[in-house]
Amino acid sequence: MRFYSCLFFIFLFLCLPPAHAHPHGAAYEVTRQETLSHLASSQHVSSPQVTSLELVYKKVDSTELHMVLDYPPNYQPGQSYATIVFFFGGGWNGGSIAQFESHARYFASRGLICARADYRVKNRHRTTPFKSVEDAKSAMRYLRKNAEVLGIDPGRIIASGGSAGGHLAAATATIPGLDGPGDDLSISTVPQALILFNPVIDNGPKGYGYERIGERYPEFSPMHNLNTIAPPTIFFLGTADKLIPVSTAKEYQKKMESRGQRCDLHLYEGQPHGFFNYKEIDSTYFKDTVLKADAFLQSLGYLQGPATLDQFLAGK
């Protein structure tokens, strides 16, 4: 595995094209010098299941936003892979890419490339939720801009996230504006599918976050920006979630289906917000939601063969 990991990193170094980053926008391509720096400092991990690599996907003034890419064990340079990008939750206030580490490593072990993207939040960057959306859209553009080098199929990108991260994933698919300065608007942010874990989906007067978004909610709220290009979606929610009402999820599903779009809604009786997160003590709901997400991706042709979650968890 170490031999193949070294070959993989050498491949990235040799193939990454030179580029010029916008001083206030996304660093869409990474220079060879930057790549050497990242490889020297990143916490990349090699295991029988995945190989991980950390890169900077965006620079805003002195702030660098990182993305961790988890690669499948059978990754072959020159081929392109379906890819999932995960956005963590935290109310646009905090949070960490570690939230979806188990999800990412499992789906990487299944043969996908998985990205976990950091983004600006209030506690660390003193920014608003609008900047979080800008960063999520920049992350999608980064993956597509550098798809060939990173081994990504730009036509098979799935966006996923939980809570506010679920909002960001949905926003990349539905919100037409809120693009960052310097973003290449010719590159689409719309994913081919969405995997949403108790997502903040309605930011209107009766929805979550309205006190911060205010009258700008029509440009921020996925519920208010659904259109006929919204991708196939799977939506997980606990019925005891105090932030996202079941009625909101059902309305979102109804609106999607009225436009001829697929929205698989899975409700979990009595479960609170964040019920889906991986827990060593009891992984019941992590396992159930991941298996349903696996089946969803199989139905779209992004995964083949039976799920291997039990084997993955046995090797953690």
Write out pLDDT tens, residues 35-66: 334 433 443 444 445 688 999 999 999 999 99
Among residues 88, 226, 71, 78, the alpha carbon closest in space to that of 159 is found at 88
Q: Are strands 63-71 and 51-60 parallel, antiparallel or unpaired?
A: antiparallel
Give the C-alpha separation, 109 to 81, whole Å: 13
This prediction has a pTM of: 0.88
The answer, yes or no, to whether residue 21 has pLDDT greater than 80, is no
Give the C-alpha separation, 22 to 305, whole Å: 42
Give the C-alpha separation, 287 to 299, whole Å: 18
Burial status of residue 27 (CB atoms within 10 A of its CB: 0-12, 13-18, 19 or more): buried
Q: Is the dihedral of CA 149, 229, 192, 266 positive or negative?
A: positive
The answer to whether residues 198 and 164 touch, using CB atoms and an 8 Å cutoff, is: no
Give the C-alpha separation, 153 to 156, whole Å: 5
Q: Pick the residue with more confidence: 48 or 205? A: 205
Which amino acid does the sequence have at 263? C
pLDDT of residue 249: 98
Among residues 285, 229, 283, 216, the alpha carbon closest in space to that of 256 is found at 229
Q: CB count, 10 Å around CB of 178?
A: 19
Tokens 């779009």 label which residue?
261
Mean pLDDT of 144-151: 94
Q: Pick the residue with more confidence: 227 or 64? A: 64
Q: Are strands 263-268 and 113-117 parallel, antiparallel or unpaired?
A: unpaired
Structural domains for the chain: 2-314 (3.40.50.1820)
Distances (CA, A) of 159 to 128, 197, 272: 21, 11, 23
The answer, yes or no, to whether residue 18 has pLDDT greater than 70, is no
Mean pLDDT of 261-266: 97
Please state which of the ranges 199-208, 223-232, 291-300 shows the lowest mean pLDDT: 223-232
pLDDT of residue 51: 84
Query: What integer best gives the mean pLDDT of the chain?
Result: 87
pLDDT of residue 78: 87
pLDDT of residue 7: 45
pLDDT of residue 9: 46
The answer to whether residues 5 and 71 touch, using CB atoms and an 8 Å cutoff, is: no
The tokens of 305 are what? 């063969």
pLDDT of residue 49: 57
The answer, yes or no, to whether residue 74 has pLDDT greater than 60, is yes
pLDDT of residue 316: 75
pLDDT of residue 109: 96
CA 69 remoteness from chain centre:
11
What's phi and psi for 113, nearest 5 deg? -90, 135
Burial status of residue 81 (CB atoms within 10 A of its CB: 0-12, 13-18, 19 or more): buried
The answer, yes or no, to whether residue 175 has pLDDT greater than 80, is yes
Q: Pick the residue with more confidence: 23 or 219? A: 219
Please, which pLDDT band fits residue 228 given cuts at 50, 70 and 90? Answer: confident
